Homo-oligomer: A and B are copies of this chain.
Amino acid sequence: MHQTQSISVIGTGNVAHSLVPALLDAGYSIELVYSKNPEHAQHFARKFNLRPATKITDLKSQIIIIAISDSALEQVIKTLPKNENQILVHTAGSQPIELIGQYHMHAGVLYPLQTFSAQRRVDFKNVPVCIEANSEFVAKQLTGIANHISEMVLQVNSEERLQIHTAAVFVCNFTNLMYTFGKDIMERYNLPFDILRPLIKETADKALSNDPETVQTGPAIRNDQVTLAKHTNQLNDDLAQKYIQLSEWIKKRYG
């Protein structure tokens, strides 16, 4: 497979670490990679057999994908020279397309709905990719790329993308917080966290094939006051308060 669009990437973080190999696997060639930290760019370029850009103004590719932190985005977009032949794309869930569109003619968003870590390679085929474009021309280019790297591509507008990102915080960040609280309890009593892992897996697996609302279990949804009291009695004040709050939310949500 050989794709004809030329792409450069700004950013060498967790998103770039998963997106770049997905693009390479799909037959795209990455012209240059840029990071404000030249060592990061060199290291990343070596890792994926690419060329690092020395200056951000060296990026002349048809498509520039900017995969950097939200707070740094606008400054980088402003710095890039205006170029009517170039499409600028960001990858952020909570940033509107207008962040680019206000400075550049061709603006797009390619938001991969997944949690990325540099040390874990994610199979991009199964990552839902939310795209947005400020013209039919950009939409066609982005749809082509997205369909080559993922089997689940959606067109959503900036508002919807923000809503999706908010829901993602609940099922990812807040869920991981619950895992950590479980670990805290186990560690406090010198019990192995390992034995909770099959439960973590099955709880997720259930939600993969069911509506989570219909598979809720536990003492709170049964309003089992005796068990609720037993549980909170042996937690420290801080975790007991959280247990009570979360149980109240369950009673109210499913009540």
The interface of chain A, by Cβ under 8 A from chain B, is: 70-71, 94, 113-115, 117, 120, 122, 126-128, 130, 152, 154, 156, 159-160, 162-183, 185-186, 188-189, 191, 193, 195-204, 206-208, 211-213, 215-221, 224, 226-227, 230-231, 234-235, 242-243, 245-246, 249-250, 253
Contact = CB atoms under 8 A, between A and B. Distances in A.
B167 A182 contact: yes
15 contacts: A94-B219, A113-B195, A115-B217, A117-B217, A120-B206, A126-B198, A152-B195, A160-B189, A162-B230, A163-B234, A168-B182, A170-B179, A177-B253, A180-B213, A197-B208
B164 A191 contact: yes
Contacts of A193: 211
Closest 8 A-B residue pairs measured CB to CB? A173-B218, A204-B204, A179-B212, A171-B182, A167-B185, A128-B195, A170-B182, A167-B182
A203 B171 contact: yes
Given A207-B179, A250-B173, A199 B160 contact: no
Contacts of A188: 163
A191 B160 contact: yes
A177 B252 CA distance: 11
Copies in the complex: 2
Contacts of A224: 70-71
Given A178-B175, A246-B174, A183 B234 contact: no
Secondary structure dominating the interface of A: helix
A164 B193 CA distance: 9
Given A206-B115, A246-B177, A253-B177, A231 B169 contact: yes
B200 A208 contact: yes
A216 B180 contact: yes
B114 A71 contact: no
Contacts of A128: 195, 198
Given A198-B113, A212-B176, A203 B204 contact: yes
Contacts of A197: 207-208
Given A164-B186, A230-B94, A175 B172 contact: no
Given A215-B117, A220-B173, A227 B70 contact: yes
A176 B120 contact: no
Contacts of A207: 176, 179, 197, 200
